Structure 1
Amino acid sequence: MTQALPKRQDVPVENTWDTSLIYATLDDYKAALENFDGATKAFEETYRDQLHRLDQVLDALPVYAALSKEQSYLSSYAYLNLDVDKLNDARAEEANLFDQVYEKAYPRMAFLPTELMAMDESYLDQIGQRQPDYQPYLTELKRQKAHQLSADQEALLNQLRPVFYHPETIYSAAKFEDMVFDDFEVAGKTYANSYVLFENDYEFSHDTDLRRAATDSFYKTLRKYKNVTAQAYLSQIKNEQIEARLRGFDSTIDYLLHQQNVSRDLMDRQIDVIMSDLAPHMRRFVKLVAKQHGLDKITSADLKVGLDSSYNLRITPEESRKLLKDALSVLGEDYGKMIDRAYDERWIDFAQNEGKSTGGYCATLYEGPSYILLSWTGLMNEVLVLAHELGHAGHFQLASKQSILNYDPSLYFIEAPSTANEVLTCNQLLKANADPEFQAYLISELISRTYFHNMVTHLLEAAFQREVYTKLDNNEFLNGDKLCQIKRQVIQDFWGEEFDITEDAGLTWMRQPHYYGGLYPYTYSAGLTIGTVMAQELERNPDETVVKWLETLELGASLSAQELAQHAGVDVTTDQPLRDTIAYVGGLVDRLEALVD
């Protein structure tokens, strides 16, 4: 039998991230929690109902910013440690300590934006004139004023706000604590299965019997938890719908897009144009790969397979450092130093272990480390994941030049730096090795990882979300079976009738935590649209483009997403960047067909 994943305590420490960079010891974390509790209490006692006085606002804003920074450090320490060891009761208790403090601290801080939004805009302008660093934050408050509730209503929502995160907590508990996957057998050999093993390895396996058997095993377990997971998700979107109605929005989608400062047409364009125009290119690509693998039919279990190649070798973490530094060298010496820090200071968690959160992400602490979660397989697709997450790290390291209140840009832009890194990495590697087999292999990886993941997987999530929110606002009945029907139909619409989209494919909605973050999935394709244009410009005109690109990343949330893209030289008010990106993917498929045939 294949080995199950090791326990967290059994993985090499050099493959884990170092959260002692946040707080040196657990006792330091607990002391910081106690101090934060007292500081938020003092903040409320000092400044609540005093913000009509300009001198008090000018004093309060830096304190509020400092408390926001400390809150992010505390939550990061608590949940980064838990995310890599979710079955560890001690880690869960440490996270619970934060939750207990945060439930009291959040409303003690949240009165500040509530009271400021109730002020005349001329008063907010005065504050911005006196403290220019906070001007973008104050501009955002003015934008939110139209949907502001009464002071009492806002206070009540602030008290309840921590409860709104419970649906995601329930989802995570089912996913990481309750789900146990059966072993499965292929050709007389028994294999263990898990979320990490399936999503990071089996799903991409070139062994068709193994891949399909692992898929059957995986979805057999998911199906058992369909209804409880559906109730968690439906609770999430109902919470969003209630707040949307309270704040006077015409639909839940409008409310969620307002949070991103993005119009409905930008989201709809991403979904509709990709569904119609990208689908034919991706169908060609998958058919080409299926032919190379000798598949008799293409099922939903076969969609993520890349070309088989002698170059499909495992890469060590240290080998990935040199590869990525070379590929991203166009971004400059300081960017390279940031990559070295990520390795040397152990910002990256490479380990595969039992109880670790799936997928990958980057969590940057303001003026602190950028923690990157992976489950390292060493395959090229994982190298591209690391390039992606280092893109987030580089972005937020640069954005820390802004105030923490102007730091976190709209979701519409958030995936641009990360996806640009993926495209840039592949393009640089293609230029470095002219061997046709390598070219075919890497183009396949670029399509199947970067474009498939961001412009198909996440885009189909977005199409699913749009349909679910529309049915929600139309008061249509939703449950686990309905969600599966919607998801399967969306997948079938993209791939067409030539592909065998199985019943199990309808369960795919259960795999994504993104649904608990509002309208996040469509922004991957938006970011990749910007990222593709920037990666091409960085190749064509590196000296001028890199300065402009890094300047854009330094702006944080001081501009809207559309303005940030415009500053970088990409006009997303038109559909041209999206259509250019789709044409680029079509060109990649053309190149691949020529190389393989």
Structure 2
Amino acid sequence: MTNAMPKRQDVDVQETWDTSLIYKDPSEYRQALVAYKEQILQFEAAFKGKLTDCSKITTALKAYEEILILVSRLSHYAFLNLDVDRMNAELASMANEYELAMAATAPKLSFLETELGLQKEELLKQVIAKQPQWTSFLENIIRQKPHQLTPDQEELLANFGPTFQQPYNSYITTKFEDMTFSDFEANEQTYKNSYVLFENDYEISHDTALRRQSAKSFYQTLRAYKNTTAATYLAHIKNEQIEAKLRGFDSTIDFLLFKQNVSRDLFDRQIDVIMEELAPHMRRFVKLMAKSHGLDKITHGDLKISLPSVFNKRITPDESKKFLIDCLGMLGEEYVNMIEESFEKRWIDFAQNEGKATGGYCATLYDGPSYILLSWTGLMNEVLVLAHELGHAGHFQLAKKQSILNYEPSLYFIEAPSTANEVLTCNTLLKQSDDDQFKAYLISELISRTYFHNMVTHLLEAAFQREVYTRLDRDEYLNGDILCEIKLAILKEFWGEEFEIGEDAGLIWIRQPHYYIGLYPYTYSAGLTIGTAMAKELEENPDEVVEKWLETLSLGASLSAQDLAKHAGVDVSTDKPLKDTITYVGSLVDQLEALI
């Protein structure tokens, strides 16, 4: 048997993140949780029904900042520990204690934004004039006025918060606790399968038999949970639809985009232009990869392969540190120090183990580390994931210059710093090399990881979401089979008739947790559009651009997504940055054709 996953307690502690940087142990965490609940009672008693003048609002918002910083610490400690060991009952109990505390306290905090929304606009502008660090937060309160419910209704919705969260919790439970994948045979060997093994290794393997057989095993299990997962997902989007109607929006999509402060035009443009104009370049790329692997046909299980190469070797986490500092060093001493600290102080969880969440992410405490989750394979693909997550880390470490109320920018911008790092890493290496084989390898990795992942995988998720929400708002019947039909049709539209996109591909929607985070998927391609433009500028004009880019990242949510991009020098009010990005991908494929 190969690739059996170790238990969490059996992995090298140096490959794990150190959550004792938040609280030294569960006892200290629980003491903080008790203190937090008392703090909320005091806050409610001090300010509920009293936010009627500039002075009182200012005092309340300062106290509210302290509460949000504490919530950041509590939530990260509760869920980071669980995310790397989801079968651990003690950690699950600790996370449940947090959820119970939030369920009890969130309704007691809901009055703050409700009462602020009921005040005259002139009063809120007075607060802004005296406390400009809260400008974005208070302007957003003003923006939401037309959609605000009565105080009783807002408090009732807050009380139902845990219920609205339940579909996502059910999805995670199904994914990590109920799903078990059958062993499979390939090359006369028996292999274990799991979400982590399939998504991080098998799916991009250059071994065709291993790749295709693992896919059969993987999707066989997903099919068994199709209807349960569909019911879970549909419950989630119906909750969103109900709130959209209550708040007076014309559609659920409009409601979700309003939260991002993004127009429907930008959302639709991102999907429509990529579906039409990027697809030909990506078809060309995949055909090149298939030819280099000697494939007689291209199935959906073959789409994510990169170029076979002698350079496709595994490197250690320590080797990746030097590698990334060399590539991203142009971003300055403070940025390099952040990268070094992330390794030295164990912000990064590299381990592969049973019960660990899939994929990668970066979760930053407002007053602490940026924790990065990976399942390290050591391949170039994974190095680019680390560059991506360090982009998030650098962004949010810089954004701490803002109040926590003006900290997190719109989702439309959130992926720009991370994807810029991926492009910058590969392009730096391309400039440093004269070896055509190495260049071809890097270009194939850049396309198959960065552009495929962000502008194909996630964009096709966005196209799926748009169709599902549209049908939902037309009161059409939806179930697991129909969701699979929608996904399959979108995949076939993008890839065309030359590729063998089988029925199993329709199940791909089951894999994505992004569907439980509003309209998150399209923002990856939006971010990469900005990120590609910035990487080009950072390479060509570092002396002029680096300082401006870092300043943009430090602005947090103080500007809208469009204005943040414009501050950095990218005008997303037009389709030029998106079309330039697609042209750049086409040029990469052209280079690859010339090199292999």
Contact 2:206 2:305 in 1 (8 A): yes
Please identify, of 427-436 and 294-303, the stretch whose mean Cα deviation from structure 2 is larger: 427-436
2:473 pairs with 1:473: yes
Q: State the alpha-carbon separation in 1 of the partners of residues 430 and 90 from structure 2.
A: 47
Contact 1:413 1:527 in 2 (8 A): yes
1:383-422 matched pairs, under 5 angstroms: 383-422=383-422
Q: SS at the partner of 2:346?
A: coil
Identify the residue that residue 536 of structure 1 maps to in structure 2.
Answer: 536
Q: Deviations over 1:363-421 (max 9, x none)?
A: 00002100000000000000000000000000000000000000000000000000000
Identify the residue that residue 216 of structure 1 maps to in structure 2.
Answer: 216
Identify the residue that residue 297 of structure 2 maps to in structure 1.
Answer: 297
Q: SS at the partner of 1:289?
A: helix
Identify the residue that residue 189 of structure 1 maps to in structure 2.
Answer: 189
Aligned residue pairs: how many? 596
Please identify, of 148-157 and 307-316, the stretch whose mean Cα deviation from structure 2 is larger: 148-157
Q: State the alpha-carbon separation in 2 of the partners of residues 372 and 432 from structure 1.
A: 28
Contact 2:65 2:405 in 1 (8 A): yes
How far did residue 493 of structure 1 move? 0.3
Q: SS at the partner of 1:301?
A: helix
2:337 pairs with 1:321: no
How far did residue 3 of structure 1 move? 3.5
Q: State the alpha-carbon separation in 1 of the partners of residues 434 and 110 from structure 2.
A: 57
Aligned AA (1:190): T
Query: Identity rate of aligned residues, in percent?
Result: 66
Identify the residue that residue 30 of structure 1 maps to in structure 2.
Answer: 30
Uncovered stretches (5+) of structure 1, i.e. residues with no partner: none
How far did residue 53 of structure 1 move? 3.2
Q: State the alpha-carbon separation in 2 of the partners of residues 396 and 54 from structure 1.
A: 30
Q: Deviations over 1:192-241 (max 9, x none)?
A: 00000000000001111110000000000010000110011000100000
Identify the residue that residue 552 of structure 1 maps to in structure 2.
Answer: 552
How far did residue 58 of structure 1 move? 1.6
Aligned AA (1:563): D
Q: SS at the partner of 1:320?
A: helix
How far did residue 440 of structure 1 move? 0.4
Q: State the alpha-carbon separation in 2 of the partners of residues 114 and 474 from structure 1.
A: 31
How far did residue 126 of structure 1 move? 1.1
Identify the residue that residue 337 of structure 2 maps to in structure 1.
Answer: 337
Q: SS at the partner of 1:371?
A: strand
How far did residue 293 of structure 1 move? 0.5
Q: SS at the partner of 2:190?
A: strand
Q: State the alpha-carbon separation in 1 of the partners of residues 135 and 307 from structure 2.
A: 51
Identify the residue that residue 310 of structure 2 maps to in structure 1.
Answer: 310
Q: State the alpha-carbon separation in 1 of the partners of residues 127 and 584 from structure 2.
A: 47
Q: State the alpha-carbon separation in 1 of the partners of residues 271 and 111 from structure 2.
A: 37
Q: Deviations over 1:52-101 (max 9, x none)?
A: 13322121111101101101110110000000000110110000010111
Q: State the alpha-carbon separation in 2 of the partners of residues 314 and 118 from structure 1.
A: 58
2:424 pairs with 1:424: yes
How far did residue 537 of structure 1 move? 0.3
Identify the residue that residue 229 of structure 2 maps to in structure 1.
Answer: 229
How far did residue 5 of structure 1 move? 0.4
Q: Deviations over 1:345-379 (max 9, x none)?
A: 10000000000000000000002100000000000
Identify the residue that residue 63 of structure 2 maps to in structure 1.
Answer: 63
Q: SS at the partner of 2:181?
A: coil
Contact 1:184 1:193 in 2 (8 A): yes
How far did residue 107 of structure 1 move? 1.4
Q: State the alpha-carbon separation in 2 of the partners of residues 459 and 589 from structure 1.
A: 19
Q: State the alpha-carbon separation in 2 of the partners of residues 144 and 3 from structure 1.
A: 51
How far did residue 432 of structure 1 move? 1.6
Q: Deviations over 1:317-336 (max 9, x none)?
A: 00000000000011001100
How far did residue 186 of structure 1 move? 1.3
2:239 pairs with 1:239: yes
Contact 1:64 1:109 in 2 (8 A): no
Q: SS at the partner of 1:190?
A: strand
Identify the residue that residue 122 of structure 1 maps to in structure 2.
Answer: 122
Aligned AA (1:451): Y
Q: SS at the partner of 1:328?
A: helix
Identify the residue that residue 354 of structure 1 maps to in structure 2.
Answer: 354
Aligned AA (1:228): T
Aligned AA (1:294): G
Q: State the alpha-carbon separation in 2 of the partners of residues 464 and 252 from structure 1.
A: 14
Q: State the alpha-carbon separation in 1 of the partners of residues 145 and 72 from structure 2.
A: 26
Q: Deviations over 1:134-155 (max 9, x none)?
A: 1221111111111111111111
How far did residue 103 of structure 1 move? 0.6
Identify the residue that residue 162 of structure 1 maps to in structure 2.
Answer: 162
Q: SS at the partner of 1:182?
A: coil
Q: State the alpha-carbon separation in 2 of the partners of residues 158 and 216 from structure 1.
A: 43
How far did residue 130 of structure 1 move? 2.2
Q: State the alpha-carbon separation in 2 of the partners of residues 437 and 361 from structure 1.
A: 31
Aligned AA (2:246): L
RMSD across aligned C-alpha pairs, in angstroms?
0.6
2:114 pairs with 1:133: no
Q: SS at the partner of 2:302?
A: coil
Aligned AA (1:363): A
2:480 pairs with 1:485: no
Q: State the alpha-carbon separation in 2 of the partners of residues 563 and 140 from structure 1.
A: 15
Identify the residue that residue 366 of structure 1 maps to in structure 2.
Answer: 366
Identify the residue that residue 148 of structure 2 maps to in structure 1.
Answer: 148
Identify the residue that residue 41 of structure 2 maps to in structure 1.
Answer: 41
Q: SS at the partner of 1:471?
A: helix
Q: State the alpha-carbon separation in 2 of the partners of residues 436 and 21 from structure 1.
A: 45
Aligned AA (1:438): F
Q: State the alpha-carbon separation in 2 of the partners of residues 575 and 504 from structure 1.
A: 34
Q: SS at the partner of 1:78?
A: helix
Identify the residue that residue 207 of structure 1 maps to in structure 2.
Answer: 207
Contact 2:53 2:123 in 1 (8 A): no
Aligned AA (1:514): H
Q: Deviations over 1:230-274 (max 9, x none)?
A: 011000100000000000000000000000000000010000000
In structure 2, relative to structure 1, the CA distance for the partners of 1:586 and 1:3 (3 Å cut) is closer
TM-score under structure 1 length normalisation: 0.99
Please identify, of 246-255 and 56-65, the stretch whose mean Cα deviation from structure 2 is larger: 56-65
Please identify, of 130-139 and 508-517, the stretch whose mean Cα deviation from structure 2 is larger: 130-139
How far did residue 111 of structure 1 move? 1.1
Identify the residue that residue 507 of structure 2 maps to in structure 1.
Answer: 507
Uncovered stretches (5+) of structure 2, i.e. residues with no partner: none
Aligned AA (2:380): M
Q: SS at the partner of 2:582?
A: helix
Please identify, of 124-133 and 35-44, the stretch whose mean Cα deviation from structure 2 is larger: 124-133
Q: SS at the partner of 1:315?
A: coil
Aligned AA (1:489): A
Q: SS at the partner of 1:185?
A: strand
Q: Deviations over 1:527-571 (max 9, x none)?
A: 000000000000110011001100100000000000000000000
Q: State the alpha-carbon separation in 2 of the partners of residues 298 and 234 from structure 1.
A: 32
Identify the residue that residue 567 of structure 1 maps to in structure 2.
Answer: 567
Aligned AA (2:563): E
Q: State the alpha-carbon separation in 2 of the partners of residues 39 and 336 from structure 1.
A: 38
